[in-house]
Amino acid sequence: MPHSERFDVYVNANQDKFLKEFGEFIAVPSVAAQKRGIKEMADLLTKRFRKLGAVVRQYPLPDGGSPVVYAEIGSGPRTLMIYNHYDVQPEDPLALWTTDPFTLTRQDGKLFGRGVSDDKGELLSRIQAVEAWLATRGDLPLKIKWVIEGEEEIGSVHLEDWVREQADMLGADGILWEGGGYDEAGRITMAAGCKGIAYFELRVQGPAVDMHSANAPIVTNPAWRLVQALSTLKNTQDEITIDGFNAHVRPLTPLEIQRIEALPFEAEQFKHNYGLARFLNDLDDRAALRRLYEIPTATICGLTSGYQGNGTKTVLPAVASAKLDFRLVPDLTPDLVEDLLRRHLDARGFTDVQITRLSGEKPARSPIESPLRTAAIEASLDTWNQTPVLYPWFAGSGPMYPLSVMLNIPVISAGATWHPDTRAHSPNENILERDYFTSLRFTASLIEHFSQV
């Protein structure tokens, strides 16, 4: 029986055990935002790595942060770093779940529970892939360094400092990230990086309480101040007009442009799904696709002020605020954007607009070509008989910067437990049971190919 067949037999024979372990992981409500179940989950994970035979250690973080669980196993000329996280989003609104969020539930070929998709399924199936490898194929052909974070869902607030402190320990030839999946057409997708993010609340304080609007001739209205301030950040062509902002946008390379333009893009389907008559500025499909990956954004995610009920209430509001997210491309950073934003507003007299940064992650752009990418394509062909769609980077954001950019290690998101209706961060989060085990096999195949390329 060849190696890969023995591997499959082992996985099949251990399906129930693997799912039982998965259920134990899901049962721990490791909600970082609420500091629930964090220590318990870090300990359970540490125990699981020990059982695998890995050298494992918890790294405490300052200010009561969730510890990083770091594990090493195997040896070889190449080193593969694996990044996952053991924390999850809060489960609310609980009423919208059809199953208990912290009980792994099988139903109609799916596995339901908070974290099944984001990110405990990927996390555990990769450990189990190594177990199956060791049981059926002997020693690993490379070294694996696992960095398992417990604060991904609250913005990885301590990761950069921790990576800086532990840089000597963290050398690797490639990083297998979380995420990656398949799209509605069934195409396996991968990505080598992501945009960064800077999320701010802008707030203007007016009178101490909402006032009768008859006072408007003599009382400064914070909602007008906010509107006027915001209106200077973009023009009506939706171009960001913050002083100095665009000078920090690194141009795309010809290879990056070529890879973006080669991506599949079901423009009509997209517009149909979201009820859009046209793209912004009437962009054609080709221009829209490129712009989606190329440009940084400034998005008003929310506006709040005064009376918001039905009908009329004649008030001059006490407070006005906006939630604003910036998706960042190199070489923009959250610090830089905050500084530019403050200077821009101050220069126009908007010193009364308070800026609070709510989260920030630097952009991570990884080399388009790398041995890890080549290995991932081979493993995808093995696993799904498909050449994957390789996004140069996600239009979304994640904490890739410290490990990938600071340490200069190519990164790839691949593994495909995420599916189009996975509902990460939402009620009824789910993955397909079939995908859990396919992803496990993909990991083994990636180990094999990465050790050889």
Angle ∠(68,113,127) on CA atoms, nearest 5: 45
From the CB of 202, what's the least distance to a copy of itself, in Å? 11
Q: Which residues contact 16 (CB under 8 A, 6 or more apart)?
A: none
Of 106 and 212, CB closest to a copy of itself: 212
Among 94, 103, 307, 335, binds a copy of itself (CB under 8 A): 307
Q: Where in 347-366 is the site for a copy of itself (CB under 8 A)?
A: 348-349, 358-359
Q: Where in 27-56 is the site for a copy of itself (CB under 8 A)?
A: 33
Q: Which stretch binds a copy of itself (CB under 8 A): 44-52, 67-75, 178-186, 306-314?
A: 306-314
Q: Tokens in use for 431?
A: 């993955």
Of 184 and 238, CB closest to a copy of itself: 238
Look at the block and give the residue holding tokens 């062909």. 381
Q: Shortest CA distance to 143 belongs to which of 172, 123, 169, 167?
A: 172
- Would strands 105-107 and 79-85 be described as parallel, antiparallel, or unpaired? unpaired
From the CB of 151, what's the least distance to a copy of itself, in Å? 14
Contact, 181 vs 189, CB < 8 A? yes
Helix (H, G, I), strand (E, B) or coil at 58: strand
As a whole number of Å, the CA-based R_g of the chain is 24
From the CB of 409, what's the least distance to a copy of itself, in Å? 24
Of 164 and 425, CB closest to a copy of itself: 425
Q: Tokens in use for 346?
A: 């101050």
Q: Where in 273-302 is the site for a copy of itself (CB under 8 A)?
A: 274-276, 279-280, 283, 288, 291-292, 294-295, 297-302
Among 246, 314, 351, 387, binds a copy of itself (CB under 8 A): 314
Of 45 and 194, CB closest to a copy of itself: 194
Beta bridge partners of 113: none
What is the maximum span of the chain, computed from C-alpha positions, in angstroms?
Answer: 86
DSSP H helical ranges for 182-261: 222-231, 254-261
Among 138, 251, 254, 311, binds a copy of itself (CB under 8 A): 311
Site for a copy of itself (CB under 8 A): how many residues? 71
From the CB of 297, what's the least distance to a copy of itself, in Å? 4
Among 317, 388, 399, 402, binds a copy of itself (CB under 8 A): 317
Q: Where in 164-223 is the site for a copy of itself (CB under 8 A)?
A: 195, 197, 199, 207-209, 211-221, 223
Q: How far is CA 318 from the centre of its chain?
A: 36
| Number of Cβ within a 10 Å radius of residue 15 | 12
Helix (H, G, I), strand (E, B) or coil at 144: strand
Q: How far is CA 339 from the centre of its chain?
A: 25
From the CB of 343, what's the least distance to a copy of itself, in Å? 18
Q: Where in 230-259 is the site for a copy of itself (CB under 8 A)?
A: 230-231, 234, 236, 238
Of 394 and 436, CB closest to a copy of itself: 394
* Cα separation, 341 vs 21, whole angstroms: 48
From the CB of 298, what's the least distance to a copy of itself, in Å? 8
From the CB of 443, what's the least distance to a copy of itself, in Å? 26
Phi, psi of 64 (to 5 degrees): 65, 25
* Cα separation, 219 vs 14, whole angstroms: 71
Q: Which stretch binds a copy of itself (CB under 8 A): 13-21, 226-234, 403-411, 437-445?
A: 226-234
Of 219 and 453, CB closest to a copy of itself: 219
From the CB of 254, what's the least distance to a copy of itself, in Å? 20
Of 107 and 235, CB closest to a copy of itself: 235
Determine which helix (DSSP H) or strand (DSSP E) holds 212, and give its type and residue range: strand 211-212
Q: Where in 386-405 is the site for a copy of itself (CB under 8 A)?
A: 394-397
CA end-to-end distance (rounded Å), the chain: 25
* Cα separation, 219 vs 217, whole angstroms: 6
Q: Where in 88-147 is the site for a copy of itself (CB under 8 A)?
A: none
Of 61 and 191, CB closest to a copy of itself: 191
From the CB of 183, what's the least distance to a copy of itself, in Å? 14
* Cα separation, 217 vs 220, whole angstroms: 8
From the CB of 305, what's the least distance to a copy of itself, in Å? 4
From the CB of 395, what's the least distance to a copy of itself, in Å? 4
Q: Tokens in use for 376?
A: 């991932």
Of 255 and 276, CB closest to a copy of itself: 276
Of 82 and 197, CB closest to a copy of itself: 197
From the CB of 5, what's the least distance to a copy of itself, in Å? 41
Helix (H, G, I), strand (E, B) or coil at 338: helix
Q: Which residues contact 74 (CB under 8 A, 6 or more apart)?
A: 130, 139, 140, 141, 142, 143, 144
Side-chain half-sphere exposure of 388, counting CA atoms within 13 A:
30
Q: Which stretch binds a copy of itself (CB under 8 A): 309-317, 334-342, 377-385, 436-444?
A: 309-317
